[in-house]
Amino acid sequence: MWWVVGVVLVLALLSAYLGWTAHRVERVHLRVQSAERALEAHLLRRAAAAAVVAEHADAVELYAAARLALDAEPGEREAAENDLTRQLQALPPQALPPPATGAATRTLIATSRRAILARQVHTDLVRDALTARRRPLVRLLGMARRYPLPQYFDIVEPTVPPPGAPAGAPLPVEAA
């Protein structure tokens, strides 16, 4: 009689663990999808702000890169964003209105900071999703087969001036 109780208890614990694992896999994939949408939105805002700055600075190449980033398809997004970042780096600092007086420059700096943060969050969540997918039990039971394989978004990450930077500070870029 006691062995029946033991078997039922083991089955209940195994069932709870499997349910928890399946829920974890689902939750982390949904969070990746949400972070991907947020990253896309922040990158679009950054490209729009770069287009406005390009209009103010009469930078034709920067404007073209910003338009390409705005109009890029999902498969072309990384290359377009890398090109936009390179164009921002190539823009001479004196061509930009100082952040203290240029609302467009302040907006560009703020959206660049948000895009950097959104990319870091997205990268962390993709890493978590891939780790969850690699678990033997998840692979054996196919718990992640409903979700597409998450992909990292590799772009050159812009380095923006700190909040207390002097007016007219450039928007330097470093390799990610």
Reply yes or no on whether the pLDDT at 104 is more than 90.
no
| CA gap 36, 146 in Å, rounded | 17
How high is the pLDDT of residue 175?
Answer: 43
How high is the pLDDT of residue 130?
Answer: 95
Average pLDDT of the chain to the nearest whole number: 86
CB atoms within 10 A of CB 111: 20
C-alpha distances (whole Å) from 21 to each of 16, 24, 97, 126, 131 are: 9, 5, 52, 17, 12
pLDDT-derived band at 174 (thresholds 50, 70, 90) equals very low
C-alpha distances (whole Å) from 112 to each of 26, 48, 50, 65, 88 are: 30, 11, 10, 15, 11
Amino acid at 120: Q
Across the range 22-50, mean pLDDT stands at: 95
Across the range 17-44, mean pLDDT stands at: 94
pTM score over 0.85: no
How high is the pLDDT of residue 119?
Answer: 94
pLDDT-derived band at 166 (thresholds 50, 70, 90) equals low
What is the domain partition of the chain in residue ranges? 2-141
How high is the pLDDT of residue 28?
Answer: 96
Are residues 72 and 80 in contact, defined by beta-carbon separation less than 8 angstroms?
A: yes
Reply yes or no on whether the pLDDT at 155 is more than 90.
no
Are residues 85 and 158 in contact, defined by beta-carbon separation less than 8 angstroms?
A: yes
